[in-house]
Amino acid sequence: MIETLKDYYSGFAIMNQELTLVLVLIFVLLADLFLGEKGKKNLQFAAIGSFALATISGFTVSFGGSQEAFAGMYVTSDMHVLVKNILNIGTLLVFFFAHYWNKNENRNQSGEFYFLTLSTLLGMYLMVSSGNFILFYIGLETASIPMAALVAFNKKNRDSAEAAAKYILTAAFSSGVMLFGISLIYGSCGSLYFDEVANAFQGLPVQILAMVFFMAGMGFKISLVPFHLWTADTYQGAPTSVTAYLSVMSKGAAAFTFLCILFKAFHNYPEIWQNILWWIIVVTITVGNLFAIRQKNLKRFLAFSSISQAGYIMLGVISGSPLGMTSTVYYIFIYLFTNLAAFGIISNIENQTGKVGMDDYNGLYGTNPKSAFIMTLAMFSLGGIPPFAGFFSKFFIFAAAAEQGQYLLVFIALLNTIISLYYYLLVVKAMFINKSENPIPTIKSDNMSIIGLGICTIGILILGFISPIYEYMTSISFGM
Amino acid sequence: MMAIIFCLGSEKKNIIRMVMAVGALAILGTAVYVTLDFLAQREAGDAADFLFRQDIVWYQSLNINYSVGVDGISVAMLLLSSVIVLTGVFASWGMEIQTKEYFLWFLMLAIGVFGFFISIDLFTMFLFYEVALIPMYLLIGLWGTGRKEYSAMKLTLMLMGGSAFLMVGIFGIYYFSSADGQLTFNIVEIAKNHAMPVDKQLIFFPLTFVGFGVLGAMFPFHTWSPDGHASAPTAVSMLHAGVLMKLGGYGCFRIAMNLMPEAADQLSWIFIILTGTSVVYGAFSACVQNDLKYINAYSSVSHCGLVLFALLMMNKTAMTGAILQMVSHGLMTALFFALIGMIYGRTHTRDIREMGGMMKIMPVLGVCYVIAGLASLGLPGLSGFVAEMTIFVGSFEHTDLFHRFFVIMGCTSIVITAVYILRVVGKVLFGPVQDKHHESLTDAVWHEKIAAFGLIIAIAGIGLAPLWLSDMISNSSIIMHFMK
Amino acid sequence: MNVPVEFYLVLSTLLFFIGVYGFIVRKNLIGILMSIELILNAVNINFVVFNRFLFPEKLEGYMYGLFVIIVAAAETAVAIAIIINVYRNMKNIDVDSIKELKN
Amino acid sequence: MDYTVLLLAIPFLMFLLLGLVGQKLGPKMAGILGTAGLSVVTVLAYYVAYSYFLNKGLTLNGVLESAVNGDGSWKALTSFNFTWLDLSNANRPDLRIEIGMLFDPISVMMLVVITTVSLMVHIYSIGYMHGEEGFERYYSILSLFSFAMLGLVVATNIFQMYIFWELVGVSSFLLIGFYYKKPSAVKAAKKAFIVTRFADMFFLVGILILSYYTKTFSFEQINGDHAALVHTTMGGLTFMGCSVTAIALTLIFLGGAGKSAMFPFQIWLPDAMEGPTPSSALIHAATMVVAGVYLVARLFPVYFFEATSVLTFIAYVGAFTSLFAALIACTQTDIKRVLAFSTISQIAYMMVALGVSGYASAHEAGLGFTASMWHLFTHAMFKALLFMCAGAIIHAVHSNEMDDMGNMRKYLPITHWTFLIACFAIAGIPPFSGFFSKDEILTAAFESNMIIYVCQAFVAGLTAFYMFRLYFRIFWYNEPTFHHTPHEAPKSMTIPLIVLAAFTCVGGFIPFSEFITAESIGYEIEMNTTIATISVVVALIGIAIATFMYKKQNEWPDKVTAIFKNFYVWAYHRFYIDEVYLFITNKIIFGIICTFIAWFDRHIIDGFMNLLAWTTNLVSDETKEVQSGSVQQYAWVFIMGVVTIVALALYL
């Protein structure tokens, strides 16, 4: 236990990434305060630049094994570092795409945008690295409260307001439910440390009840059915950059945290939560797909698509094995590039023309071939079509589930990929095949989003072929 | 090993075409070279299962390798594919809209096909398999005709449905096939280990077989085929019916049956019923269609049914026949689709009721069509006969009533085939000219002739001298494996 | 006075479900927010009671309760800000006015 | 490989040459090339026949091989035999399809028949087809046919036979459909092909069964040693109460029946007359249609030793067919159709002969076999002649109908005389060739089965009747009004007529039984004078009636018709067999089965797939209310979800 104050503070030594992020946060806050009206342009560069530096610095962190700080309240390992790095990359990409928006429509509040986004990122860091339900809760709320503000960013837009209201209310409700569950866990297990919970967990009814309450709260964050209903409304109403952030980072971080907690705190009775998760996955994938089919608004469409993707991510979680963890993280990693590419295109077009309907995309290939091409790549990758990265991530995640003998589940998920392919192809069809009398005019993207899209495209195209990434994840992953 | 040419960046249609033609020629050249080299190495006594092996570790932790190699069967399929790709390029010479994109997707399709045939790693194979499927959507949806969007979607979704079955099957094989705890995707090793418990085989064999069977147009999973072919542009129909459908048969053989022989043995009766049905069913359906492409699509159902049917007979002769039938059907159906495309390009109709007397108007196309038809109904001297006879003789190995019944039922298909082929020939080519406008139509132009003649030469070549091909195929260790 | 632990739990559970019920039936956004507070209070009662009665040697439950209160405050602040925004856009804070995004 | 391969190679190369570059050569060149090529083949064939039969030795691959075994029987020689396709497997290690050339008495005899008739047809066609569109195509197909037919007869194994069998089928199809612009020709071609194809299917299955047990295709092994191989491998095997051998051989016979237009496959042959007349002469009279007879003859030892019942069956089928076709022939008015039915009837004769034949040469037991082959030979000559004469007549009047003809003997003298010779031959009047061969057949039938004998004798009378009916209607009778005066055919057409007439005159004096017997051992035939007399008398009666009725126009034909009114109508309509077929194919197979399957495919199978998609979309649409937009409802679903999961987790 804690020997001295010095020992205590040495805990900060392993929080490199969090500390760096806090530095960036403060830097952005100060910059926003002092740069004034004229410096807005520089502010963006300052924010993006400093965060890019932080991202790069994140890759230098390495532990070799699992580390603890603050008496196990905070844990980290190479895998945690990697997940945070992945989150960094995603956030950076979102910044690239948001650049144009921040430069024009949102110019007055761009500093706040960066600050709030980075705050949620900090929350995610804490959530990911938590070893105790307290830190987990703090991280979770740090991640979600600023997010509500971000969703409401378009103050003049009623959709944005509605989306934010729905988000904050549901989030509060779900965290209430989850907290109730945690309180019961505490009551029945006597501790809030994950590993101590694991030891005290005996599968009592009250514990199962508590676990389900807890899972419901996580299900809200990852938007698993039936806790998903807020997703589409919020995604649709929120500014596109925020939606992108929400759909990838928030979901990814929550999924990884969920995985860690299930592995650490409930690993003695896996069949209980595996059975629950089994049904949740089936329902999630199916409902996500069924609802996505009829969507006409692309953001809403991607919301449902992301719900079904969340179901696929859970396939890795249900396996409970190192392979499961690897494939989950890998899936999130690939999903990040893929989904952000899609959102990049959508936000580009929305920013410049205000169109987000699927019908508006008719004939896009004729006017904006590159955008259409990238969108197609993204759609194919989301649908799991080789040789794009999405195929690999899907294959691995199925492999992880199949390893545990979940063949029926894999089969159901695969059948669902048919439906998902159908609606992904609808987008492709709109862009390539459908004719439009009033196509989206040729748009000129700004440099930042071009860089972002370029990175995404490269990611989609070649990540699957670069096996060292996956191998590295394998080497640092752990199971129950 | 396979030199694939990308013609990015070129906006000039003629240049693209030339590049494609040269590239396809190079592919054919490579394939021929590989064949000759293969035969030479076999001659020299290299008895390894697969020649030209190349293994690159890819995903080490899952033991995924990029492993390629060829045996006699793959070589045969490579030859087939390269011939069809080349002729396909010539058949789509007249493609005017978005030429670059068209050929790019076309190439992607070709890459998938070639990759599939040379892979001996399940993962790599599956990867290429899906690579080959997806371009179809755009190729049909964009450059197709008729109800192209519906057809393209249906085709893609049904084939993806097949690959859903398939993927589960692959995982089953992967996780249950290891002998010493080392999981592997390598087909050769899995076959050698032969460690998969029979009860697991019984689960995963049907999944895998159906998965590939969908692509092989097995009844009742064939309905993508008529619509898909009907809507696809010429070269895509050619490649699809000619090569892509063979992926199904090849996969059934190489993966499902090779890796799970016991289950194949026990469950073959179910699939014999299904494939036997498709043989006759496809033929009967073709008899009353009025769209040329539908006729040919149903005919493909019938012929591809015969491929799977023969595979399930599980003896050397029948299996050799099945592979021969793949090659033969690939060539002749490609020829059919090429010709239909050319005729359609002139008459703008594929309805046989609206055509007549084409033989007079376009004698070259007419004669080619007759030859294709004769090949299809199994005329000696053309490839179809060789394949069908090998199949029937091989299938007759089984003495029990069940097999006999289905073999004889399969034999009836040769009559029904004659019926629908002659119906088309009689209506479209012979007889009086139906539409006065057709009289001014022109005959084949040079690139069309190249396409048609290339295929005819291949068909007749196999039909006249089949022994080398049949020997090359039947000497593959995988077929020997089934000699009980 | 020795109130058994079960009584507290019954209270907290009741409070929780009253909160849930309130969330589902209240028409006013502020009312809904208050219902959430009820849920959180139920949670707090749980934590404190468990700590006090079952695990009095450590302070985890109390600490958690404190954090919940703090976070709830922050949450409420943001929520109210958003509700104000809703009011600004829609001129009321009726829950029925945020039903536009659907299907 | 030596010069004999040219027998096959020349026609094949000619086919390729004329088929590919015929257009560029022009019709004249094509005709000359084709004819020249076939002349070479004919010379070769005669040389082979000469060496084989008369010199009793054939130089093959540079070695003179004796054509006679030690015991004086004829020996089968093989000039080459290479593996074309390997069909072996664990069970049947030596099963392979070979292509080779077998020379034995019947194949050599057939070589002579085919090349002779084919050459005549080639020459004849130069005149007949003059100026026709597609002249080159015609010659190319003729070459293909000659190639296929020669390949068929020299086949060393049953599968090679099947291969060429199919090829003759397709060349027949192409020739029948030669006038492809004429819908009736296209229909006839289709019919011919499909009917024979249908029969071929039985043939194929027969081959499969036979080869499955004997593990070989080779005739030599199957037939050798009195079909001992068949006996050891298949003897005693039964399937549903029938002997497997009998089933296999019946199926093979059905294949032959299809090509030879035996009942019930006879329907295609009359329609096949839509083709150019010379090709009808070659294919549908002289050569291809006897392939079925040749097939049975080829496998005769197997039939005789292993499936006598099938042989009897063949005899009855033949007898019935000959009677049936002869009756129809009496009523037809299209001269080519009369000839077609006559062909069916005559081929049936050959079948009968095989069916009633014994095996041994001693005591003329194998007389039927010899007679059958002999009749095949003589029939080929005189029937080809008849057809060519008919061609010359059609050439002159541009019609096939009897009503457009009459009193033509003065316009077409050569045709008239040659036609008359042929008529005498077919009617069985000595000393023309048909008399001898038919007489042997009747003798064989007489010795074996009385019913069949009576039937055949009656048919002989009918034959004489309808042939002379034809003769008198064309060359005597009343002269109709011609569109233009008929004129004799050009030399290129008349010379073949004369040559064939010569063959017809002398064909009966060839000592056939020395050469061709079932046992391959020659013997002397002694003529049975009683039977010979009866048959001549019957023939004369037939001729007399025909003369009485048709020499001059009179009322007797109508009277006779009135007596047999219904029967006449039935016979005129070929006993409505075609209609039955049409009903089965069009109404039942096309109308019901195919249409149903196509409907089933579109609406049930495909409909099911569409239903899946439709349901998915429907569910998607129906469930949109779940996403109602109300945050309270979201919370409701949320909490109910939790409750449900808890319930599931606790109680399941």
Look at residue D1 in the predicted model and tell me its pLDDT.
55
Look at residue B7 in the predicted model and tell me its pLDDT.
39
Segment B337-363 shows an average pLDDT of 84
Where residue A296 falls among pLDDT bands split at 50, 70, 90?
confident
Say whether residue D625 is in contact with chain A using an 8 A CB cutoff: no
Look at residue B85 in the predicted model and tell me its pLDDT.
84
H/E/C letters for each residue in chain B?
CCCCCCCCCCCCHHHHHHHHHHHHHHHHHHHHHHHHHHHHHHHCCCCCCCEEEEEEEEECCCCEEEEEEECHHHHHHHHHHHHHHHHHHHHCCCCCCCHHHHHHHHHHHHHHHHHHHHECEHHHHHHHHHHHHHHHHHHHHHHCCCCHHHHHHHHHHHHHHHHHHHHHHHHHHHHHCCCCCCCCCEHHHHHHHCCCCHHHHHHHHHHHHHHHHHHCCCCCCCCHHHHHHHHCCHHHHHHHHHHHHHHHHHHHHHHHHHHCHHHHHHHHHHHHHHHHHHHHHHHHHHHCCCEHHHHHHHHHHHHHHHHHHHHHHCCHHHHHHHHHHHHHHHHHHHHHHHHHHHHHHHHCCCEHHHCCCHHHHCHHHHHHHHHHHHHHCCCCCCHHHHHHHHHHHHHCCCCCHHHHHHHHHHHHHHHHHHHHHHHHHHHHHCCCCCCHHHHHCCCCCHHHHHHHHHHHHHHHHHHHCCHHHHHHHHCCHHHHCCCC
d(CA D103, CA A242): 90
Q: Are residues B361 and B438 in contact, defined by beta-carbon separation less than 8 angstroms?
A: yes
C99 and D627: CB-CB below 8 Å? no
Q: Are residues B158 and A389 in contact, defined by beta-carbon separation less than 8 angstroms?
A: no
Q: Which two tokens stand for residue B356?
A: 């007549």
Is the per-residue pLDDT at C25 higher than 70?
A: yes
Segment A359-367 shows an average pLDDT of 84
Where residue B484 falls among pLDDT bands split at 50, 70, 90?
very low
C95 and D624: CB-CB below 8 Å? no
Beta bridge partners of D85: D97
CA distances from A154 to A14, A36, C87 (A): 38, 21, 14
Q: Sign of dihedral through CA atoms A49, A51, A52, A56?
A: positive
Residues of D in contact with C96 (CB under 8 A): 630
- Is the residue at D335 inside a domain? yes
Residues of A in contact with C89 (CB under 8 A): 156-158, 161-162
Using one digit for the tens of pLDDT, what is the confidence trace for B76-108? 888 888 888 888 888 877 777 777 778 778 888
- Is the residue at B7 inside a domain? no
Nearest Cβ partner of A186 from C61, C90, C101? C61
- Is the residue at D359 inside a domain? yes
Residue carrying structure tokens 């004469």: D389
Q: If contacts are CB pairs under 8 Å, which of residues 282-321 in chain A contact chain D?
A: 287, 290-291, 293-294
Q: Which residue of A has its CA nearest to B204?
A: A407
Look at residue B10 in the predicted model and tell me its pLDDT.
42
Say whether residue D634 is in contact with chain A using an 8 A CB cutoff: yes
Look at residue A283 in the predicted model and tell me its pLDDT.
92
How many residue pairs bridge chain C and chain D with CB atoms within 8 Å of each other? 30
Chain B nearest CA to D427, separation (Å): 38
Using one digit for the tens of pLDDT, what is the confidence trace for D237-280? 777 778 888 888 899 999 989 888 888 888 888 888 888 888 88
How many residue pairs bridge chain B and chain D with CB atoms within 8 Å of each other? 142
Domain count for chain A:
1
- Is the residue at B331 inside a domain? yes
Say whether residue C68 is in contact with chain A using an 8 A CB cutoff: yes
Where residue B350 falls among pLDDT bands split at 50, 70, 90?
confident
Where residue A4 falls among pLDDT bands split at 50, 70, 90?
low
User: Which residues 6+ apart lie within 8 Å of A157 measured at CB?
Assistant: A237, C89
Say yes or no: D566 and D486 in one domain: yes
Residues of A in contact with C47 (CB under 8 A): 183, 186
D208 and B281: CB-CB below 8 Å? no
B138 and A428: CB-CB below 8 Å? yes
Q: Which two tokens stand for residue B371?
A: 């030859």
Residues of A in contact with C46 (CB under 8 A): 180, 183-184, 186-187
Q: Please say which residue of D524, D545, D572 terminates a domain.
A: D572
Q: Please say which residue of D556, D572, D588 terminates a domain.
A: D572
- Is the residue at D486 inside a domain? yes
Look at residue C73 in the predicted model and tell me its pLDDT.
92
Chain D nearest CA to A339, separation (Å): 23
Domain count for chain B:
1
Q: What are chain C's domains?
A: 5-98 (1.10.287.3510)
Say yes or no: D349 and D430 in one domain: yes
Q: Which residue of B has its CA nearest to D159?
A: B389
Look at residue B399 in the predicted model and tell me its pLDDT.
79
Beta bridge partners of D239: D242
Residues of C in contact with A145 (CB under 8 A): 71, 74-75, 78
d(CA C49, CA C45): 6
For residue B50, the enclosing domain spans 13-480
Using one digit for the tens of pLDDT, what is the confidence trace for A200-212? 888 888 888 999 9
Cβ count within 10 A of residue A19: 13
Share of chain A above pLDDT 70, in %: 98
d(CA A389, CA A395): 10
- Is the residue at D42 inside a domain? no
Look at residue B3 in the predicted model and tell me its pLDDT.
44
Look at residue B2 in the predicted model and tell me its pLDDT.
43
Q: Which residue of C has its CA nearest to A290?
A: C103
C102 and D635: CB-CB below 8 Å? no
Segment D613-621 shows an average pLDDT of 86
Is the per-residue pLDDT at C39 higher than 90?
A: yes
Is the per-residue pLDDT at D585 higher than 90?
A: no
Is the per-residue pLDDT at C14 higher than 90?
A: yes
Look at residue A7 in the predicted model and tell me its pLDDT.
67
Q: Which two tokens stand for residue B384?
A: 């179809």
Q: Which two tokens stand for residue C46?
A: 């749980």
Is the per-residue pLDDT at A139 higher than 90?
A: yes
Segment D190-207 shows an average pLDDT of 89
Q: Please say which residue of D549, D572, D595 terminates a domain.
A: D572
Say yes or no: D509 and D617 in one domain: no
A179 and C36: CB-CB below 8 Å? no
Q: Which residue of A has its CA nearest to C6?
A: A187
Which among B371, B376, B346 is positioned nearest to B358, based on CA atoms?
B346
Q: Are residues A297 and A356 in contact, defined by beta-carbon separation less than 8 angstroms?
A: yes
- Is the residue at B3 inside a domain? no
Any chains having at least 3 CB pairs less than 8 A from chain B are A, D
Which among A157, A304, A153, A165 is positioned nearest to C99, based on CA atoms?
A165
Domain count for chain D:
2
Segment A387-397 shows an average pLDDT of 90
Q: Which two tokens stand for residue C86?
A: 């809703």
Segment B8-31 shows an average pLDDT of 66
Say whether residue D641 is in contact with chain C using an 8 A CB cutoff: no
Is the per-residue pLDDT at B482 higher than 80?
A: no
Higher pLDDT, B476 or B306: B306
d(CA A429, CA B152): 10
Q: Are residues B473 and B322 in contact, defined by beta-carbon separation less than 8 angstroms?
A: no
Residues of A in contact with B62 (CB under 8 A): 396, 399
Say yes or no: D400 and D361 in one domain: yes
DSSP type of residue D318: H
- Is the residue at D644 inside a domain? yes
Q: Sign of dihedral through CA atoms C3, C7, C8, C14?
A: negative
For residue A87, the enclosing domain spans 5-476
Is the per-residue pLDDT at B5 higher than 60?
A: no
Q: Are residues A373 and A322 in contact, defined by beta-carbon separation less than 8 angstroms?
A: no
Using one digit for the tens of pLDDT, what is the confidence trace for B181-205? 788 888 888 888 788 888 888 888 8
Cβ count within 10 A of residue D35: 22
- Is the residue at D268 inside a domain? no
Share of chain D above pLDDT 70, in %: 100
Say yes or no: D561 and D599 in one domain: no
Look at residue D409 in the predicted model and tell me its pLDDT.
80
Higher pLDDT, A39 or B60: B60
Chains B and C touch (3+ CB pairs under 8 A): no
First-last CA distance in chain B: 35
Put simply, whether the predicted model's pTM sits higher than 0.90 gets the answer: no
Say whether residue D619 is in contact with chain A using an 8 A CB cutoff: yes
- Is the residue at D162 inside a domain? no
Is the per-residue pLDDT at B47 higher than 60?
A: yes
Any chains having at least 3 CB pairs less than 8 A from chain D are A, B, C
For residue D621, the enclosing domain spans 578-651
Task: Please give the ipTM for the structure prediction.
Answer: 0.88
Look at residue A87 in the predicted model and tell me its pLDDT.
92
Residue carrying structure tokens 């599939």: B116
Look at residue B480 in the predicted model and tell me its pLDDT.
64
